[in-house]
């Protein structure tokens, strides 16, 4: 069997890779439908994030107005079923009653002052209803003597806050062990047999709870009012992905057009990619 001399290129080595061919109409239609759906989905998500942005900005504006507005009477039992976060949270309110210091719940907290506890003390009004009041923060080393001053009528002002059911991150409230990681109004009221109890609690302001006066009173006025607002970034991301899909469709369409021009009847190159007109002119 004769072998090809060195330096000569055999037919198999000389064969060029097959030239790409145009896709069928069915394949192109399927790709176009898929791309259209993906583009529409990304665009819809971007638009939804813009709507969320408008909602968040309106919420921030409402909260700012509530925080700096004069205090109003806290919602009574007749209004409790209508109290909700959108309409009432962070509203500045006032109420009066008698603190039940012996029933104070110590809720684990992390603040600008370090780790410790919120002191949630029931305040019983003259009508018998109870509202939990977050009198403020005490450090973890604080003893029971910081659970309140002498018993007597009290005037409270602060921000209305909605209940925080469940518990903290990866931690659950333990009513039986009196260990609390969130300000779950319903659970605390049930554990202490408080009824009727409001579905909200009040973050007492600094004037009500009293700033640090020798370590005998909790520190109030530490409510953090902050809202994450990344909706514009999310919207731009979704729109960018939609544009990338549109760009990919444009590129595929241009390539298909060039392939169809190359393979249309009468073109200079036939299906095997060899220019027959140039060969005939040799």
Tokens 């410790």 sit at which residue? 116
Based on the domain organization, do 162 and 199 belong to the same domain?
yes
Residue 38 is assigned to a structural domain of this protein: yes
Q: Which domain holds residue 188?
A: 91-209
Residue 45 is assigned to a structural domain of this protein: yes
* Tens of pLDDT, residues 85-121: 888 999 999 999 999 999 999 998 888 788 889 999 9
Q: Reply yes or no: is the peptide bond before residue 134 cis, omega within 30 of 0.
A: no
Non-local (6+) Cβ contacts of 3 within 8 A are none
Average pLDDT over residues 158-180: 85
- What domain count does the chain have? 2
**Terminal Cα distance for the chain, rounded:** 35
Q: Is the entire prediction scored with pTM above 0.85?
A: no
* Tens of pLDDT, residues 129-164: 999 999 989 888 766 545 555 566 888 999 999 999
Residue 205 is assigned to a structural domain of this protein: yes
Residue 217 is assigned to a structural domain of this protein: no
Based on the domain organization, do 99 and 193 belong to the same domain?
yes
Interatomic CA distance for residues 105 and 98, integer angstroms: 16
Residue 279 is assigned to a structural domain of this protein: no
Non-local (6+) Cβ contacts of 142 within 8 A are 116, 117, 215
Closest by Cα among 225, 201, 199, 215 to 104:
201
* Tens of pLDDT, residues 46-62: 999 999 999 888 888 88
Non-local (6+) Cβ contacts of 96 within 8 A are 125, 153, 154, 155, 156
């Amino acid at each position: 069997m004769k072998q090809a001399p060195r330096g000569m290129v055999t037919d198999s080595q000389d064969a060029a890779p097959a030239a790409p061919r145009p896709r069928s109409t069915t394949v192109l239609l399927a790709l176009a439908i898929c791309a259209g759906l993906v583009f529409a989905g990304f665009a819809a998500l971007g638009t939804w994030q813009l709507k969320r942005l408008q909602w968040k900005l309106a919420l921030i504006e409402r909260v700012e107005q509530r925080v700096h507005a004069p205090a109003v009477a806290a919602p009574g039992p007749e209004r409790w079923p209508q109290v909700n976060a959108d309409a009432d949270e962070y509203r500045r309110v006032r109420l009066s009653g008698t603190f039940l210091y012996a029933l104070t719940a110590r809720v684990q907290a992390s603040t600008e002052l370090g780790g410790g506890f919120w002191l949630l003390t029931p305040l019983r009004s003259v009508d018998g209803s109870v509202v939990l009041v977050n009198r403020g923060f005490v450090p973890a080393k604080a003893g029971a003597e910081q659970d309140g001053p002498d018993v007597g009528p009290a005037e409270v002002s602060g921000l209305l806050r909605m209940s925080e059911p469940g518990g903290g991150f990866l931690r659950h409230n333990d009513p039986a062990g009196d260990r609390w990681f969130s300000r779950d109004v319903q659970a605390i009221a049930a554990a202490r047999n408080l009824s009727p109890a409001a579905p909200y609690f009040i973050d007492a302001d600094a004037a009500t709870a009293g700033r640090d006066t020798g370590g005998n009173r909790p520190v109030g006025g530490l409510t953090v009012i902050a809202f994450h607002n990344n909706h514009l970034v999310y919207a731009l991301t979704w729109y960018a992905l939609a544009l990338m899909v549109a760009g990919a469709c444009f590129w595929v369409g241009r390539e298909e057009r060039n392939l169809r021009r190359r393979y249309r009847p009468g073109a200079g190159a036939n299906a095997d990619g060899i220019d027959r007109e140039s060969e005939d002119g040799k």
